[in-house]
Amino acid sequence: MIDFRKHKILICAGSGGVGKTTVAASLGVAAAQRGLKVLVLTIDPARRLANALGLGSGDIFEATQVPGQSFSGELSAMMVEPQAVFDDFIRRSAPNKSVTEKLLSNTLYKQLSTTLSGSQEFTSLELLLTAHQSGKYDLIVLDTPPAQHAIDFLKSPEKIYSLFQRSITQWFIRSGGEGQGFFKKVFNKGTRLALDALEKITGEGFISELSGFFENMAELQKTVSERSLMVHQLLSAQETAFVLVTAIDEAKLSEAGLFNEDLKKTGARLSYLIVNRAFPQWAVPVSEEGLSDQSRRVAKKINEFYEKVKSYYDKKDKYVIQLMELLGADLPVYQAPELDVEVVGVEGLEVLAQLIQPYKGVKDE
Amino acid sequence: MVFGARKEARISSQKIHLVTGKGGVGKSTVAAALALKCSKVNGKTLLVELGDRGFYSHVWGRAFGFKEVQVDSQLWVARWSGEDSLREYVGHLIRVQRLVDLIFENRIMKALVRAAPALNELAILGKLTSGIRKIGPAFDFENVIVDAYATGHFKALINAPKGMSEAIPRGPMGDQSRAMAEILRDSKRVKIYVVALPEELPVNESMELADSLERGLGQTPKFILNKCLDPGVSESGLQELLKEKQDSRLSSYLVKGMKQQREFAQVFQQSSRTTVLNHLWLPTSVELYRQLSLKIPEDFCD
């Protein structure tokens, strides 16, 4: 199993539907079993998993202790609620009440802050940083928000930070920002033409709301850039490990290779690969011995089915091997099989934690 | 003239099919199979994927971009990004290329377009409904199938016009947002499919999405239960076998799986039309799309 003591933070990334959330929770269990004080930060868990972690809908800003645990360490969990965290961040970072109020009552912010691309990632990282700075935990496991591609997690904060960029906001501030007389003070002729065109297309209301939005966001810029620097340092720190969770599927696996490339560019490193929902080793053909005639016919059929499924997985194996070659021989690779039991309660997570085994032929840490 | 009239007829009967579902359920595969089906039964078809990175290029072995590329006798594929759609739209409105370039090459404008809430979503929906709204360049397809975003982002996409028209009621953007919202509500024009796997999480997420589409748009999506197990035996036969061989985990896994997918299909069926697609155990390929398209009901393309 992963040597958890080497790390302060494990970030579980992966594209949609690979089972990241469950894997993150069982890594948390495995670390707590080994004596660590662990926090699992998760976003939008399935009801059953939320129950297993003891998370209700009300627990937003406080970590809760996972019920029914008897680990030598201690396991807590916390749910990321983007809207609440984003609002809270604005309240904490605004220089005064007036900015907070203006921003929270801006129609664009109200209508669209939940759908801002990158807001989930931004708030996850914000909570990660706060939890890390609290010094309460030996290890924090972050389950990244659902995204089409694993890479979105790395790119999204950038998008959100660009909201607070001086260049955009200054442009609005300099130009008056009130809609009225908006174009008169703009310095640069090109920009004026561009804005003029944009205003024709959208209508004046949009531009003035947008300028109000950016103008107030700019008030938060100092805090945002400090925090973003800290987040960046945290992500590329020696004790932070990225765990890429992937499904055994050629498209997802080829994406994993790209993710590693992008990760390197940011100064962070991929430390582990977990291939989830791998072929269930527990499934073996039914022996036809001692069966009634009718059941023997059924057994024959399902054994044929078994062979079909097995060869499907065997063919996919070569993609995993290709990926392992691409990522380098020293990267620990684990696999978690497709399960025939549901993960219920903390015991269910313990079962899954035990099933995370080194990929065939790869040596354990 | 005749040609022009035919083109007009095609656009006025144009159908938009939006395919969504939780991440990892096989949305792209189902969308491609549906597109292939519609191209066979109902003429010129465009399959659209959204975003900066394509999936279909792996499958067809060629790059796709904003301009559609023909891949089959009646099937074209395109990949639309928010920026491409916005650029085309702005170009259509301003008609002065130099000014369009100015907007999109300007560093500040670039950051603004990237960061402004909901602009990308609106631009994509604007492009998608441009044929029906008779705005912009010709959009000459009988069927447009969109491999749309996963559940959460899909809701944001669908709700963007309503949100924008409420935030900014006056002006061209408000008007257009209202027009888009109206088309999205029209179940004769726009059909929504929610793809799920026979597992608790995707099924619950699909039911929640269907509920929110019903409330927000008055649209009842169709369900597609994808990758179902079909071992070629009956559930009762398996149960008999399991009585004789109680320790066979393979048999009990299959019994449980078949029972569960039957129950999930019933849950779906109670609220909307549901199609079950079996797992074909084929690698992702055009051949998989073709075989799957044979299982898609023909009237989906009506």
Q: Of A310, A318, A358, which is closest to residue A336 (Cα–Cα)?
A: A358
The ipTM estimated for the assembled molecules is: 0.89
User: Which amino acid type is present at position B265?
Assistant: A
Q: What is the mean pLDDT of residues A48-71?
A: 81
Q: Kindly state the average pLDDT of the residues B129-156.
A: 89
Q: Which residue has the higher pLDDT, A161 or B246?
A: B246
Question: What are the beta bridge partners of residue A10?
Answer: A141, A241
Which pLDDT belongs to residue A199?
A: 76
Q: How far is CA B168 from CA A202, A212, B109, B162, B175, in A?
A: 9, 13, 20, 10, 9
Contact B115, A168 (CB under 8 A): yes
Average pLDDT, chain A: 82
Q: H/E/C letters for each residue in A159-222?
A: HHHHHCCHHHHHHHHHCCCCCCCCCCCCCCHHHHHHHHHHHHHHCHHHHHHHHHHHHHHHCCHH
Nearest to B207 by CA among B274, B161, B148, B157: B274
Measure the CA–CA gap between A341 and B15, rounded to whole angstroms. Answer: 42
User: Of A172-181, A216-225, A330-339, B252-261, which range is least confident?
Assistant: A172-181
Determine the angle formed by the axes of helices B171-185 and B151-167, rounding to 10 degrees. 130
| % of chain B with per-residue pLDDT over 90 | 63
CA A202 to chain centre: 34
| Ordered domains of chain A (ranges, CATH) | 4-91+118-161+230-286+316-358 (3.40.50.300), 165-219 (no CATH)
Q: What integer is the mean pLDDT of A89-100?
A: 89
Identify the pLDDT of residue A59: 57
What pLDDT, on a 0 to 100 scale, did the predictor assign at position A184? Answer: 40
pLDDT of A348-361, one tens digit each? 899 999 999 998 77
Phi and psi at residue A96, to the nearest 5°:
-155, 170
pLDDT for residue B37: 97
Q: What is the DSSP letter of B301?
A: G
In DSSP notation, A5-62 reads: GG-SEEEEE--TTS-HHHHHHHHHHHHHHTT-EEEEEESS--HHHHHHHT--TT-SSS
Please give the backbone phi and psi of residue B230, each rounded to the nearest 5 degrees, phi first.
-135, 85
pLDDT at A201 over 90: no
Q: Quick one: pLDDT at residue A324?
A: 87
pLDDT mean over A63-76:
93
d(CA B161, CA B149): 16
Number of H helices, E strands in chain A: 14, 9
Higher-pLDDT residue of A95, B53: A95
CB contact at 8 A, A10 and A48: no
Q: CA–CA separation, A8 vs A28, rounded Å?
A: 12
Question: Does residue B111 carry a pLDDT above 70?
Answer: no
Tokens 């994927």 belong to B49
- Give CA–CA dist A148/A140, Å, rounded: 24
pLDDT of residue A173: 53
Least CA distance to A246: which residue of chain B? Answer: B24
A82 pLDDT higher than 90: no
CA A155 – CA A13 distance, rounded (Å)? 13
Q: What percent of chain A has pLDDT above 90?
A: 33
Q: pLDDT-based confidence at A307, cuts 50/70/90?
A: very high
The beta-carbon neighbor of B111 closest among A167, A193, A205 is A167
Average pLDDT over residues A258-266: 85
B250, B281, B288: which to substitute to probe chain A, counting the most A Cβ within 10 Å? B250
For range B178-200, the mean pLDDT: 95
Position A183 scores a pLDDT of 38
**Residue A361: how many CB atoms within 10 A of its CB?**
8
Per residue in A115-152, pLDDT (tens digit) is 566 678 888 898 999 999 999 999 999 998 877 667 77
Q: Do A34 and A258 form a contact (C-beta atoms < 8 A)? A: no
Question: Best mutation site among B158, B206, B244 for testing chain A: the one with the most A CBs within 10 Å?
Answer: B244
B163 pLDDT band (50/70/90 cuts)?
confident
Alpha carbon B9 to its chain centroid, in Å, reads 24
CA-CA distances (angstroms) from residue B177 to A185, A196, A202, B153? 30, 20, 10, 18
Burial zone of A180 (CB within 10 Å; 0-12 exposed, 13-18 middle, 19+ buried): exposed
Q: What torsion, rounded to 10 degrees, do the Cα atoms A28, A33, A37, A39 define?
A: 20
What pLDDT does residue A57 have? Answer: 63
> Is CATH 3.30.360.10 the right assignment for the domain spanning B2-81+121-228+273-301?
no
- Closest CB to B163: pick one of A111, A209, A292: A111
To the nearest whole angstrom, how far is the Cα of B276 from the nearest Cα of chain A? 19
CB-hemisphere CA count at 13 Å for A38? Answer: 29
- Mean pLDDT (chain B) is 89
CB contact under 8 A, A283 and B249: yes
Best residue of B97, B230, B245, B280 to probe chain A, by most A CBs closer than 10 Å:
B245
Other Cβ atoms less than 10 A from the Cβ of B111: the count is: 17
**Does residue A55 surpass a pLDDT of 90?**
no
pLDDT above 90: residue B277: yes
- In three state form, how does the secondary structure of B168-228 look? CCCHHHHHHHHHHHHHHHCCCCEEEEEEECCCHHHHHHHHHHHHHHHHHHCCCCEEEEEEE
Can you tell me which residue has the tokens 């990175």? Answer: B53
Question: What is the distance in angstroms between the Cα of B69 and the nearest Cα belonging to chain A?
Answer: 21
Selection from A204-218, B152-166, B212-226 with the highest mean pLDDT: B212-226
Whole-angstrom distance, CA of residue A344 vs CA of residue A70 = 16
Tokens 């929770």 sit on residue = A25
Please report the pLDDT score of residue A162 as a whole number: 66
Q: Inter-chain contact B204–A287, Cβ cutoff 8 Å?
A: no
Sole residue written with tokens 């928010």: B82
Residue A46, Cβ density class (10 Å: 0-12 exposed, 13-18 middle, ≥19 buried): middle
Q: How far apart are CA A173 and CA A185, in angstroms?
A: 10
The span from the CA of B135 to the CA of B155, in Å, is 25
Across the range B61-82, mean pLDDT stands at: 95
Comparing alpha-carbon positions, the chain A residue that sits nearest to B156 is: A115
Q: What is the pLDDT of residue A294?
A: 94
For residue A48, what pLDDT band results from cuts at 50, 70 and 90?
confident
pLDDT for A185 equals 47
Nearest to B47 by CA among B35, B55, B37: B35
Which residues have C-beta within 8 Å of that of residue A341, sequence separation ≥ 6? A348, A351
* Residues in A touching B107 (Cβ below 8 Å): 167
Q: In chain B, what residues touch A312 (CB-CB under 8 Å)?
A: 281-283
